[in-house]
Amino acid sequence: MRPITLTRRIAFSAGHRYWDPALDAEGNRQRFGRWASPFNHGHNYVLWVSAAGPVDTANGMVVNIKWIDDV
């Protein structure tokens, strides 16, 4: 049986802020500007994950898609 490729698109967001614990709030604001905000600075990402291989005759799958989602 020929190999099959399964591709999954996963979108997620992540937020962060720049903060040096050695500085007080004003020092962090001066050094990092708006990126020191307690409301964070965010990014949106898209990750494409592909798995390829033969179809397992016992279950009809190349890979359990739940395993990809769990990563």
pLDDT, one tens digit per residue, over 14-54 is: 999 999 999 999 999 999 998 898 888 889 999 999 989 99
- The predicted model gives 4-16 an average pLDDT of 91
Contact by Cβ (8 Å): 6, 69: no
Which residues 6+ apart lie within 8 Å of 2 measured at CB?
54
More confident residue, 40 or 5: 5
Number of domains in the chain: 1
pLDDT at 37: 87
Contact by Cβ (8 Å): 44, 11: yes
- Taking the C-alpha atoms of residue 46 and residue 69, their distance in angstroms, rounded to an integer, is 13
Domain that holds residue 50: 4-70
Q: Which of 2, 13, 3, 14 is nearest to 50 (CA)?
A: 3
Show the tokens assigned to 27: 């020092």
